[in-house]
Chain A
Amino acid sequence: MTRGGRRPLRRACALAATVTGVVASVAGTSSCADLSAGYQGPAALDPPLAGPCWPLPDAVTVDVGYQVMQQYVVGDRWVLVAQWDRLSPDDFTASLTESLVDGGFTPRGAEDGWHRFEAPGYGAVAFDVTALEDATPETLVQGTFRLDLPRDAARPRTTAGCTPIQKVDPPAEGATVMGEAS
C-alpha cells in the first residue's frame, strides 16, 4: 500500500482507538490496578477468576461459564460480583467448591451463606450464591455469586490489557465475610 493509503488508515485506527478510549472512560470502568490505558475494547473475556489478569492460583480451573460484572474493595478484601451460567445454584456451588479444592484450597465451612476456603501462601477466599429470580432451567444466566479474595489478588501478573471491571461501593451489610470489615 502507498503512503497515501496508509495515512488515512492510521487516522481511522487512531479515531477508532480514541472513540474506544472515550467509550471506555465514559463507561466508568476501572481495573483494580491501573490498566485502563491498556484496554483494547470489548474483546473476549480474559477469565478473571484464574489467569494472569485477576488471579486465583493457576491451579484453580473454573469449569462453569461466568461473567464478572462488578468489583468492590472492603479493607484488605477484594470482592468480585459475577454471574454464572447454565447450572442450578446447587450444582454451581458444588462445581466451584470442587474447583477450589482441586486448586489446593481447603474448605473451612460455611458462615452467613458464605462458603469459606483457605490455601497456604494465598490466604482465605469465600463465595456466596444468589439464584436469579424467575430463572427457568433454560435461562442461560442462573444467578449471581460473590468471590471474596485477598486484596493482593487484585494485582495482575501481566502488563497486557485486562478486561476492566466496574467498581462499585460495597453494600452496607454483608459486604464480606472476612478481613477488617467482617
Chain B
Amino acid sequence: MTDTDSERVPGAASAPSSGTAADHEGSATPPSGTRWRRPLLPLIVVGTLALVNLGLRVVMAHKALPAPLAGDEVAYTTGARVLADAVRALLQGGEVPTDELQARLVGNGWFMPGMPLLIAPLFLLDPTAGDFTVRFYLGVLSTTVFLAVVAVVARTLGLRTAAVLLVVPGLIPMWALFGFSAWGDVWAGLVILATVPLLVVMWRRLDSDGAVRLRDAALLGLALVVVLYLRSSTLPLVVAVLVLLVVVVLLRTRGRALARSLAACAVAAAVVVALLAPWSAIMSRTFGERVTTTTTMSLSVAYAFGDRDELCFGPCVEGNIWTNMARYARTVGEQTGENPLEVRRQMRDYAMRDVTPSGYAAGVLDNFSRYAFSPASYDHVFRPGATRAQDPPELAPDTLNIAVTLWTYLVALGVAAVAVVAARRVRTDAQVMVIVASLLLALLMSQPFVHVSSGRYWPVFAPLLGIAIAGLLAPADLARSSTTLRRTQVALAVGWVVVVGALFLVAG
C-alpha cells in the first residue's frame, strides 16, 4: 500500500508553493486533481479494516453494555447527571444546584470535568439513562470519533497510516472495549491522535518555508485543552507540545513567516489558557490556592511511593484509601486552620520520608510494568454486575479477550519500540511521525513517575503506537530523508534508552 492521497492534504491546500505537500508526502502518483487515478487496493484494505473495526465494536458491545459502571466511571457519570440537571434548570429558569455541582464535579479535586461534559448531553436527552445507555452512547461516540480521526489521518498522512491505526489500536479487543467506558483515558488518546496530523501539517508548512496557520494553531490549542480536560495527567504533554512548536518555529522560519508563526503559537497557547482558565479558577477558589487542573498529585505520589501505613501520619481509616486520605486531610485542615492541600503535602512528605532513590526507581518500574504491560487487566471490569453473580461462567475471566489483547498489544508495543529506537532513512513525513509519536509517548510515560498505575491507562498512548509503527513501515527514501530529523530521532532514542536504563540501574 502506498500513501497516494497526499495531494489532498488540507493543511497544505493553501501552502505558499504549490505541490509542496505532495513533495513531502513522497507520493508516486501525479499531483492534484487525480483522485480518480488512485490505486483501488489501499482504499479497499482501509475500507475492509474499518468494517472489521465496526464488527469488533459490535462484538465488544455484547460484553461491555451489561457491565455496570465501575470506580471513577461512576464519579464521572454522576458529574454528568448533575451537569445536565444544572443546564436544564438554567434553561427552565429554575434553581441551579450549585452545591451539588460543587460536590459532584469538584469534590475532592481528583477529576477533570471532561468526561462529565462529554456524557452530560446524554442526560439532557434522557435524564433516566442508566449504565447500559451510558455505555451505548459512549461506544457509538468513540467509534465515530475514532473513524473520523482515522479519516483525517488518511487525508493528511496517507492510507498506510490510516490502515495501521485501524489495526493498532483499532483491533486490540481491550481498546475497543475501553471505547464503551466512561474513563477519560481512551478519549484523551483519541484527541492526542488527532493532534498528530495537525502537527505534521504544521511541519510541512514550516519545511516549505511557509508559516504556521492560525487555524491550525487554534485547532491544536483546542485539541490540547480537550486532552487536558479529559486527563489531567497529560499536562506535561500539553505544555511540551506548545514549547516544541515554538522551538521548531524558531529553528525553521525567519522574517515575516517567523512573526506569523509565533503569532499562531500564541493563539494555540491562548486557546489552551482561555479554555482552561474557568476550570482553574473554580478549582483555585474552592481550594484556596492556585490549582491548575486537579489536586491529585501530592497524595498520588504519596500513595504510589510512600509507606502506605504512614499515609495519615499513621494508618488511614480502612476503606477507599483515596476518599479517606482526602477526608483526613480536610479534617486535619479544619482542626489546625491549615489549607487541606498543605495537609496533603505534609502527608506526602511524612509517608515518603524514608523513600530512597532506588526505592523510588523500583516503584516507577513497578508502575511502568502495570502501565505498559498489563493491557488486559481491566477485563474483569467489563463483566456483568452483582445481579448476575449467580452465573459463574459470565463472571469468569474472558480468556479469549485477554489472550488476543495481550498478544496484539505486545506485538504492537515491540514494533513501536523498534520504530522509536531505529532511526531509518525514510521521507521526512514519516520521520516527523515517528518523532512526534516518540516524543508524545515519552511525555505520556510521565504518569508512572507520579501515580500508581494499572491496566486502565494504556489506551491513552495506544494510538501513538500505531503512528510509530506506520512511520517504521514507510519505504526507505534516502533522497527525501532529513539528516536533522534523523539526528533528532536518534537523540530521542538515546533519551529513551538512557532513562529506562537509569531506572533499572538506580532500582538495582
Contacts and interface: CB of A to CB of B under 8 A. Distances in A.
A86 interface: yes
A67 interface: yes
Describe A's contact surface by its main secondary structure: mixed
Given A12-B81, A26-B319, A27-B318, A1 B94 contact: yes
Contacts of B95: 1
Contacts of A29: 317-319
B343 A140 contact: yes
B19 to A, nearest CB: 56
Interface in B176-234: none
B319 A65 contact: no
A5 B85 CA distance: 7
A23 B320 contact: yes
B330 A26 contact: no
A145 B289 CA distance: 32
Interface string A60-98: 000001110110000000000001011000000000000
Interface residues of A, number: 36
Contact of A140 (B127, B327, B338): B338
Residue of B97, B103, B332 most packed against chain A (CB within 10 A): B332
A44 interface: yes
A65 B336 contact: yes
Contacts of B314: 69, 83, 132, 144
Interface in B47-98: 74, 78, 81-82, 84-85, 88-89, 92, 94-95, 97
Contacts of B350: 134, 139, 141
Nearest to A47: B335
Interface in B263-295: none
B382 interface: no
Contacts of A141: 313, 332, 346, 350
Contacts of B84: 8
Contacts of B335: 45, 65-67, 85
B100 interface: yes
A2 interface: yes
A70 B74 CA distance: 29
Nearest to B79: A12
Contacts of A15: 78, 81
B313 A132 contact: yes
B324 interface: yes
B318 A28 contact: yes
A29 B318 CA distance: 8
B88 A8 contact: yes
28 contacts: A1-B94, A4-B127, A8-B85, A8-B127, A8-B128, A9-B85, A9-B89, A12-B82, A12-B85, A16-B104, A23-B320, A28-B318, A29-B319, A42-B330, A45-B331, A65-B336, A67-B328, A69-B314, A69-B315, A85-B336, A86-B336, A134-B350, A139-B346, A140-B336, A141-B313, A141-B350, A144-B314, A166-B318
8 closest residue pairs by CB, A with B: A27-B319, A1-B94, A65-B335, A8-B127, A141-B313, A42-B327, A12-B81, A166-B317
